[in-house]
Structure 1
Amino acid sequence: MMRRYEIFADYFQFYLWDAGAKPSPPTDYTQDDLVHRIKSSLHVVVIQPLRNMDVPVSLELAETAPPIDLAEFDHVAETSLDLPSGRLEIHECTGGSIDILDVAPGTYRVRACFKGLDTLSEDGLDGDDRYLITLWPAPAAPLVVLKQYEDAR
Protein backbone atom coordinates (compact mmCIF):
# COMPACT_ATOMS: atom_id res chain seq x y z
CA MET A 1 0.00 0.00 0.00
CA MET A 2 1.34 3.42 -0.99
CA ARG A 3 0.00 6.79 0.17
CA ARG A 4 1.16 10.25 -0.88
CA TYR A 5 1.14 13.39 1.24
CA GLU A 6 2.26 17.02 1.27
CA ILE A 7 3.60 17.52 4.79
CA PHE A 8 4.63 20.84 6.33
CA ALA A 9 8.08 20.06 7.73
CA ASP A 10 8.22 22.97 10.17
CA TYR A 11 11.47 23.00 12.14
CA PHE A 12 12.72 20.56 9.47
CA GLN A 13 10.76 17.60 10.87
CA PHE A 14 7.62 15.52 10.94
CA TYR A 15 6.67 12.44 12.94
CA LEU A 16 5.52 8.86 12.66
CA TRP A 17 4.14 7.62 15.96
CA ASP A 18 1.78 5.27 17.73
CA ALA A 19 -1.56 7.11 17.93
CA GLY A 20 -2.61 5.10 20.98
CA ALA A 21 0.56 5.87 22.95
CA LYS A 22 0.36 9.63 22.26
CA PRO A 23 4.15 10.06 22.64
CA SER A 24 5.99 13.32 23.02
CA PRO A 25 8.53 14.04 20.29
CA PRO A 26 12.14 13.93 21.51
CA THR A 27 13.88 17.20 22.31
CA ASP A 28 17.36 15.88 23.14
CA TYR A 29 18.98 16.24 19.69
CA THR A 30 22.66 15.60 19.09
CA GLN A 31 24.74 16.57 16.06
CA ASP A 32 24.60 12.90 15.00
CA ASP A 33 20.78 13.01 15.03
CA LEU A 34 20.85 15.97 12.64
CA VAL A 35 23.36 14.28 10.34
CA HIS A 36 21.39 11.00 10.34
CA ARG A 37 18.18 12.94 9.40
CA ILE A 38 16.13 10.45 11.42
CA LYS A 39 15.70 10.02 15.17
CA SER A 40 13.77 7.47 17.16
CA SER A 41 12.39 7.56 20.66
CA LEU A 42 9.74 5.56 22.51
CA HIS A 43 6.82 5.05 20.07
CA VAL A 44 7.98 7.87 17.73
CA VAL A 45 10.27 8.37 14.74
CA VAL A 46 11.29 11.85 13.61
CA ILE A 47 11.97 12.34 9.90
CA GLN A 48 14.10 15.42 9.15
CA PRO A 49 13.72 16.77 5.58
CA LEU A 50 16.13 19.39 4.23
CA ARG A 51 13.40 22.03 3.89
CA ASN A 52 11.05 23.46 6.50
CA MET A 53 8.35 23.87 3.87
CA ASP A 54 5.68 21.59 2.43
CA VAL A 55 7.49 18.48 1.21
CA PRO A 56 6.18 15.55 -0.86
CA VAL A 57 6.19 12.31 1.13
CA SER A 58 5.25 8.83 -0.06
CA LEU A 59 4.53 6.28 2.64
CA GLU A 60 4.61 2.58 1.82
CA LEU A 61 3.56 -0.31 4.04
CA ALA A 62 5.30 -3.55 3.08
CA GLU A 63 5.11 -7.13 4.37
CA THR A 64 8.89 -7.60 4.33
CA ALA A 65 11.97 -5.45 3.75
CA PRO A 66 11.79 -4.33 0.13
CA PRO A 67 14.98 -4.30 -1.96
CA ILE A 68 16.61 -0.92 -2.32
CA ASP A 69 18.88 0.60 -4.94
CA LEU A 70 20.97 3.07 -2.94
CA ALA A 71 22.10 4.79 -6.17
CA GLU A 72 18.52 6.02 -6.59
CA PHE A 73 18.62 8.11 -3.39
CA ASP A 74 20.77 10.81 -1.78
CA HIS A 75 20.28 9.68 1.82
CA VAL A 76 18.87 6.48 3.34
CA ALA A 77 18.48 5.64 7.02
CA GLU A 78 16.55 3.03 9.01
CA THR A 79 15.35 2.72 12.57
CA SER A 80 12.66 0.87 14.52
CA LEU A 81 9.21 1.98 15.67
CA ASP A 82 7.00 0.19 18.18
CA LEU A 83 3.29 0.48 17.37
CA PRO A 84 1.53 -1.35 20.23
CA SER A 85 -1.90 0.11 19.39
CA GLY A 86 -1.65 -0.78 15.70
CA ARG A 87 -2.43 2.83 14.79
CA LEU A 88 0.33 4.59 12.82
CA GLU A 89 -0.10 8.36 12.88
CA ILE A 90 1.67 10.78 10.57
CA HIS A 91 1.91 14.13 12.34
CA GLU A 92 3.36 17.53 11.51
CA CYS A 93 5.71 19.18 13.99
CA THR A 94 3.63 22.32 14.62
CA GLY A 95 0.53 21.25 12.70
CA GLY A 96 -1.80 18.42 13.38
CA SER A 97 -2.39 14.88 12.36
CA ILE A 98 -2.03 14.16 8.64
CA ASP A 99 -3.35 10.58 8.66
CA ILE A 100 -3.85 7.54 10.90
CA LEU A 101 -3.35 4.10 9.37
CA ASP A 102 -4.43 0.82 10.93
CA VAL A 103 -1.60 -1.73 10.98
CA ALA A 104 -0.97 -4.92 12.90
CA PRO A 105 0.27 -4.07 16.41
CA GLY A 106 3.99 -4.69 16.80
CA THR A 107 7.46 -3.43 15.96
CA TYR A 108 8.28 -2.06 12.53
CA ARG A 109 11.39 -1.09 10.64
CA VAL A 110 11.20 2.43 9.19
CA ARG A 111 13.31 3.22 6.13
CA ALA A 112 13.55 6.90 5.17
CA CYS A 113 14.82 7.60 1.65
CA PHE A 114 15.64 11.17 0.58
CA LYS A 115 15.88 12.12 -3.10
CA GLY A 116 16.54 15.35 -5.04
CA LEU A 117 18.42 17.02 -2.19
CA ASP A 118 20.79 18.80 -4.59
CA THR A 119 17.82 20.60 -6.21
CA LEU A 120 17.19 22.96 -3.28
CA SER A 121 17.38 26.66 -4.03
CA GLU A 122 20.10 28.76 -2.41
CA ASP A 123 17.66 29.96 0.28
CA GLY A 124 16.44 26.38 0.88
CA LEU A 125 12.80 27.27 0.27
CA ASP A 126 12.26 25.60 -3.10
CA GLY A 127 13.35 22.31 -4.58
CA ASP A 128 12.40 19.00 -6.09
CA ASP A 129 13.30 16.99 -3.00
CA ARG A 130 11.12 13.95 -2.28
CA TYR A 131 10.86 11.56 0.62
CA LEU A 132 9.92 7.88 0.62
CA ILE A 133 9.12 6.26 3.97
CA THR A 134 8.70 2.47 4.03
CA LEU A 135 7.55 0.43 7.05
CA TRP A 136 7.47 -3.34 7.49
CA PRO A 137 7.16 -5.65 10.50
CA ALA A 138 10.60 -6.45 11.93
CA PRO A 139 12.31 -6.97 15.28
CA ALA A 140 13.73 -3.87 16.97
CA ALA A 141 17.19 -2.94 15.69
CA PRO A 142 19.50 0.06 16.08
CA LEU A 143 19.39 3.07 13.81
CA VAL A 144 21.59 2.65 10.76
CA VAL A 145 22.49 5.05 7.95
CA LEU A 146 22.74 3.09 4.70
CA LYS A 147 23.76 6.13 2.63
CA GLN A 148 24.87 9.47 4.06
CA TYR A 149 24.10 12.75 2.27
CA GLU A 150 26.79 15.39 2.47
CA ASP A 151 25.25 18.85 2.07
CA ALA A 152 27.57 20.82 -0.22
CA ARG A 153 25.97 24.18 0.61
Structure 2
Amino acid sequence: MVSLDLEIFADYHQLHLIDDGSTSDLGETWTDETSADRLAVADDAIAVGTSVNVTVAVRVEVLDAPPADDFADFDHVVEGSMQVPSGRIVIMGCTDYEPDAARFEVPVGPVRVRVASSNLAEAERLGIDSDDDQQTMERLRVQVWPAPNGERAVLKRWKPLVA
Protein backbone atom coordinates (compact mmCIF):
# COMPACT_ATOMS: atom_id res chain seq x y z
CA MET A 1 0.00 0.00 0.00
CA VAL A 2 1.16 3.51 -0.84
CA SER A 3 -0.16 6.38 1.30
CA LEU A 4 0.03 10.15 1.17
CA ASP A 5 -1.16 12.69 3.78
CA LEU A 6 -2.24 16.14 2.56
CA GLU A 7 -4.11 19.24 3.62
CA ILE A 8 -6.19 20.67 0.76
CA PHE A 9 -8.36 23.79 0.58
CA ALA A 10 -11.87 22.51 -0.21
CA ASP A 11 -13.03 25.64 -2.00
CA TYR A 12 -16.72 25.52 -2.96
CA HIS A 13 -17.06 22.50 -0.64
CA GLN A 14 -15.23 20.11 -2.95
CA LEU A 15 -12.03 18.32 -3.91
CA HIS A 16 -11.17 16.95 -7.34
CA LEU A 17 -9.45 13.71 -8.31
CA ILE A 18 -8.63 13.78 -12.00
CA ASP A 19 -6.53 11.78 -14.41
CA ASP A 20 -3.35 13.72 -15.17
CA GLY A 21 -4.35 15.19 -18.53
CA SER A 22 -8.13 15.06 -18.03
CA THR A 23 -10.29 17.59 -19.85
CA SER A 24 -13.52 16.65 -18.02
CA ASP A 25 -15.67 19.47 -16.67
CA LEU A 26 -16.74 18.40 -13.18
CA GLY A 27 -18.98 21.45 -12.88
CA GLU A 28 -21.45 19.68 -15.15
CA THR A 29 -21.59 16.57 -12.92
CA TRP A 30 -23.13 18.24 -9.85
CA THR A 31 -26.87 17.63 -9.43
CA ASP A 32 -29.13 17.63 -6.38
CA GLU A 33 -28.50 13.88 -6.08
CA THR A 34 -24.71 14.00 -6.45
CA SER A 35 -24.57 16.95 -4.02
CA ALA A 36 -26.54 14.98 -1.41
CA ASP A 37 -24.32 11.95 -2.04
CA ARG A 38 -21.14 14.09 -1.90
CA LEU A 39 -19.74 12.46 -5.04
CA ALA A 40 -19.92 13.51 -8.68
CA VAL A 41 -18.34 11.32 -11.36
CA ALA A 42 -17.10 11.94 -14.89
CA ASP A 43 -15.28 9.44 -17.11
CA ASP A 44 -11.77 10.34 -15.91
CA ALA A 45 -12.50 12.52 -12.88
CA ILE A 46 -14.32 12.54 -9.54
CA ALA A 47 -15.47 15.48 -7.43
CA VAL A 48 -15.82 14.88 -3.69
CA GLY A 49 -18.18 17.03 -1.65
CA THR A 50 -17.10 18.31 1.76
CA SER A 51 -18.98 19.78 4.72
CA VAL A 52 -16.72 22.79 4.95
CA ASN A 53 -15.31 25.42 2.62
CA VAL A 54 -11.86 25.48 4.26
CA THR A 55 -8.80 23.24 4.49
CA VAL A 56 -9.45 19.54 5.09
CA ALA A 57 -7.10 16.70 6.00
CA VAL A 58 -6.82 14.03 3.30
CA ARG A 59 -5.14 10.64 3.44
CA VAL A 60 -4.72 8.92 0.07
CA GLU A 61 -4.16 5.15 -0.01
CA VAL A 62 -3.37 3.26 -3.21
CA LEU A 63 -4.32 -0.40 -2.77
CA ASP A 64 -3.96 -3.60 -4.78
CA ALA A 65 -7.48 -4.83 -3.93
CA PRO A 66 -10.75 -3.57 -2.43
CA PRO A 67 -10.39 -2.44 1.20
CA ALA A 68 -12.20 -3.90 4.18
CA ASP A 69 -15.57 -2.39 5.07
CA ASP A 70 -14.69 -0.28 8.13
CA PHE A 71 -17.63 2.09 7.80
CA ALA A 72 -18.23 2.30 11.58
CA ASP A 73 -15.15 4.55 11.85
CA PHE A 74 -16.58 7.13 9.42
CA ASP A 75 -19.57 9.45 9.04
CA HIS A 76 -20.07 9.20 5.26
CA VAL A 77 -18.69 6.69 2.76
CA VAL A 78 -19.09 6.82 -1.04
CA GLU A 79 -17.58 5.06 -4.04
CA GLY A 80 -17.22 5.77 -7.72
CA SER A 81 -15.16 4.66 -10.69
CA MET A 82 -12.92 6.57 -13.05
CA GLN A 83 -10.54 5.90 -15.93
CA VAL A 84 -6.85 6.69 -15.41
CA PRO A 85 -5.13 6.35 -18.79
CA SER A 86 -2.06 8.30 -17.59
CA GLY A 87 -1.46 6.16 -14.49
CA ARG A 88 -1.45 9.35 -12.35
CA ILE A 89 -4.25 10.99 -10.38
CA VAL A 90 -4.13 14.69 -9.54
CA ILE A 91 -5.79 15.59 -6.22
CA MET A 92 -6.65 19.23 -5.58
CA GLY A 93 -9.19 21.78 -4.49
CA CYS A 94 -11.38 22.89 -7.37
CA THR A 95 -9.72 26.31 -7.59
CA ASP A 96 -6.14 25.10 -7.06
CA TYR A 97 -3.52 25.57 -9.76
CA GLU A 98 -3.32 22.11 -11.37
CA PRO A 99 0.43 22.14 -12.21
CA ASP A 100 1.19 22.62 -8.49
CA ALA A 101 -1.30 19.99 -7.23
CA ALA A 102 -0.29 16.70 -5.61
CA ARG A 103 -0.15 13.61 -7.83
CA PHE A 104 0.03 9.92 -7.08
CA GLU A 105 0.63 6.84 -9.22
CA VAL A 106 -2.08 4.22 -9.81
CA PRO A 107 -2.45 1.35 -12.25
CA VAL A 108 -3.39 2.44 -15.78
CA GLY A 109 -7.05 1.79 -16.60
CA PRO A 110 -10.24 1.79 -14.55
CA VAL A 111 -10.00 2.30 -10.80
CA ARG A 112 -12.50 2.36 -7.96
CA VAL A 113 -12.32 5.26 -5.51
CA ARG A 114 -13.77 5.07 -1.98
CA VAL A 115 -14.01 8.29 0.00
CA ALA A 116 -14.67 7.98 3.72
CA SER A 117 -15.30 11.23 5.63
CA SER A 118 -15.04 11.72 9.38
CA ASN A 119 -15.21 14.42 12.04
CA LEU A 120 -18.11 16.00 10.16
CA ALA A 121 -20.14 17.11 13.19
CA GLU A 122 -17.21 19.05 14.66
CA ALA A 123 -16.22 20.52 11.29
CA GLU A 124 -19.81 21.60 10.57
CA ARG A 125 -20.19 23.08 14.07
CA LEU A 126 -17.08 25.23 13.68
CA GLY A 127 -17.47 25.99 9.97
CA ILE A 128 -14.75 28.35 8.74
CA ASP A 129 -12.84 27.90 12.01
CA SER A 130 -12.70 24.10 11.73
CA ASP A 131 -9.26 24.13 10.09
CA ASP A 132 -7.66 26.06 12.98
CA ASP A 133 -6.83 22.77 14.73
CA GLN A 134 -6.14 19.22 13.50
CA GLN A 135 -8.66 17.93 16.08
CA THR A 136 -11.53 19.86 14.50
CA MET A 137 -10.71 19.48 10.79
CA GLU A 138 -12.87 17.48 8.44
CA ARG A 139 -10.92 14.35 7.51
CA LEU A 140 -11.19 12.32 4.33
CA ARG A 141 -9.62 8.99 3.49
CA VAL A 142 -9.40 8.37 -0.26
CA GLN A 143 -8.72 4.74 -1.21
CA VAL A 144 -7.99 3.80 -4.83
CA TRP A 145 -7.60 0.32 -6.32
CA PRO A 146 -7.80 -1.27 -9.78
CA ALA A 147 -11.36 -2.41 -10.56
CA PRO A 148 -13.82 -2.53 -13.44
CA ASN A 149 -16.16 0.43 -13.80
CA GLY A 150 -19.06 0.37 -11.38
CA GLU A 151 -21.98 2.56 -10.39
CA ARG A 152 -21.59 5.45 -7.97
CA ALA A 153 -22.70 4.24 -4.53
CA VAL A 154 -23.34 5.66 -1.07
CA LEU A 155 -22.22 3.03 1.43
CA LYS A 156 -22.96 5.12 4.54
CA ARG A 157 -24.86 8.41 4.56
CA TRP A 158 -24.15 11.43 6.80
CA LYS A 159 -27.10 13.53 7.79
CA PRO A 160 -25.83 17.12 8.05
CA LEU A 161 -26.54 19.05 11.24
CA VAL A 162 -27.78 22.02 9.22
CA ALA A 163 -29.94 21.55 6.14
Which category describes the TM-score, using the shorter chain as reference length? over 0.9
Q: Secondary structure at the match of 1:17?
A: strand
Deviation at 1:95, TM superposition (A): 1.3
Q: Secondary structure at the match of 2:30?
A: coil
Which of 112, 125, 131 does residue 140 from structure 2 map onto? 131
Alignment gaps of 5+ in structure 1: none
Deviation at 1:84, TM superposition (A): 1.0
Q: Distance in 1 between matches of 2:28 and 2:148?
A: 25
User: Number of paired residues?
Assistant: 153
Q: Distance in 2 between matches of 1:122 and 1:111?
A: 25
Q: TM-score, normalised by structure 2?
A: 0.88
Matches of residues 101-120 of structure 1 in structure 2 within 5 Å? 101-120=104-123
Query: Once superposed, which parts of structure 1, at least 4 consecutive aligned residues long, lie more than 4 Å away?
Result: none
Q: Distance in 1 between matches of 2:55 and 2:69?
A: 25
- Tell me if the contact between 1:14 and 1:48 (Cα under 8 Å) persists in the aligned partners: yes
Greater shift, 94-103 or 71-80, is seen at 94-103
Q: Distance in 1 between matches of 2:29 and 2:80?
A: 17
Q: Which letter does structure 1 place at the counterpart of 2:113? A: V
Q: Distance in 1 between matches of 2:40 and 2:22?
A: 18
Q: Which letter does structure 2 place at the counterpart of 1:148? A: R
Matches of residues 1-153 of structure 1 in structure 2 within 5 Å? 1-97=2-98, 98-120=101-123, 122=125, 124-125=127-128, 126=130, 127-153=136-162
Q: Distance in 2 between matches of 1:99 and 1:24?
A: 19
- Tell me if the contact between 1:26 and 1:41 (Cα under 8 Å) persists in the aligned partners: no
Q: TM-score, normalised by structure 1?
A: 0.93
More helix by proportion, 1 or 2? 2
Alignment gaps of 5+ in structure 2: 131-135
Taking only aligned residues, the RMSD between alpha carbons, in angstroms, comes to 1.4
Percent identity between the two aligned chains: 31
Q: Distance in 1 between matches of 2:14 and 2:127?
A: 14
C-alpha deviations, 1:87-125, integer Å up to 9, x for none? 211122111232122322110000000001111254511
Q: Distance in 2 between matches of 1:83 and 1:28?
A: 18
Deviation at 1:74, TM superposition (A): 0.3
Q: Secondary structure at the match of 1:120?
A: helix
Greater shift, 136-145 or 100-109, is seen at 100-109
